[in-house]
Chains A and B, each alone.
Chain A
Amino acid sequence: AQSVTQPDIHITVSEGASLELRCNYSYGATPYLFWYVQSPGQGLQLLLKYFSGDTLVQGIKGFEAEFKRSQSSFNLRKPSVHWSDAAEYFCAVGPYNTDKLIFGTGTRLQVFP
């Protein structure tokens, strides 16, 4: 079955610390992978996407993610977290035609000063 797993429901980090949010997927075909961020009361905003090519992709707000086919993972990273990064983060996977986009259940990030 096709699925996306975000194992961490809630993560707390100190401002300035590094961050890694985990995403594992199960998908039968070539996956197209996305990370979205949702601030309170807002819709989802695309952070970055992976379709093909370089497995390390850069996104907005200083985020990056690495596609590892052998591990079926697409983890999101940031070297130094800012208080404004506190939000909920969603990983998603789908075909090129994203009508069948599958979302993970999200990871809520809390940042302490």
Chain B
Amino acid sequence: AQKITQTQPGMFVQEKEAVTLDCTYDTSDPSYGLFWYKQPSSGEMIFLIYQGSYDQQNATEGRYSLNFQKARKSANLVISASQLGDSAMYFCAVGNSGYSTLTFGKGTMLLVSP
């Protein structure tokens, strides 16, 4: 069984500041992937970033980076230079190597203020 824990139900950040959204995971599979998705108020799930369990370097995609600490089973999302459009729910998910069904956390609501 897999489990994702997102301990921050809500986060506030000012525009142009960086913010870290926490995610810890539990999986018995030695090979797995970690994903972050953004869900704005429109409801659509938007893929942001992926980290494979055997990747040596932390993943980066534009303003998004993933702080992957395998021994601690943590995969925090860092958003640099926050923008008003970043206000949304953010979900962390883990998928195993057998097939790609994802297990999601309960999400963190991020609000970016001017």
Judge: A and B partners, yes or no. no
